[in-house]
Amino acid sequence: MKKQIMSLALAALSSGISIAPAFAAGDNLDRVTSISMMPVRLGGVATGVVIGTPVAVARESYKSYLDLTGAGAEQIHAKDCAPACLLVSIFTLPAGLVLGTVKGSYYGVKNGVLKGFSTPFNSESMSMGTLDE
């Protein structure tokens, strides 16, 4: 009885394998690889957005503060004049933080989604590379 059940199970298994589609080299291999990488890509997107957004906000806030301070000091006297930069920084620090938060949030989410999907867990997806493209 056990031999009959075992042979029936092997016959069912072999017939199930024989009707499974066979992929030729290059035909659907890219599709299968892309589908199997989906959990990794989604994890890369989530990690890129969660880690990359605060990194981008900090980088853009600093950059915006420096740019606004230099532009404001240029209007008063000169870009490298310390008293002019000190006076202007009273106003440009809050403006740089707000502008940097808005721009950094945009770039962090954009890099996390686009670059996190195409190249998961890369420094570019976590906004550690270039932000403006």
CA–CA separation, 133 and 131 (whole Å): 6
126 band by pLDDT with thresholds 50, 70 and 90 = confident
Distance of CA 107 to the CA centre of its chain: 9
Model confidence at 26: pLDDT above 80 = no
What does each C-alpha distance from 100 to 35, 66, 70 come to in angstroms? 37, 11, 15
More confident residue, 37 or 61: 61
Is 61:97 a contact under the CB 8 Å cutoff? yes
Retrieve residue 94's tokens. Answer: 């809050």
Model confidence at 58: pLDDT above 90 = yes
Residues 6 or more apart whose Cβ sits within 8 Å of residue 64: 95, 96, 97, 99, 100, 103
Mean pLDDT throughout 10-26?
Answer: 57
How large a percentage of the chain has pLDDT more than 90? 41
Q: Share the mean pLDDT of the chain.
A: 82
Model confidence at 49: pLDDT above 90 = yes
Distance of CA 127 to the CA centre of its chain: 7
Whole-prediction pTM: 0.71
Give the pLDDT confidence score for residue 6 in this predicted structure: 67
Give the pLDDT confidence score for residue 57 in this predicted structure: 95
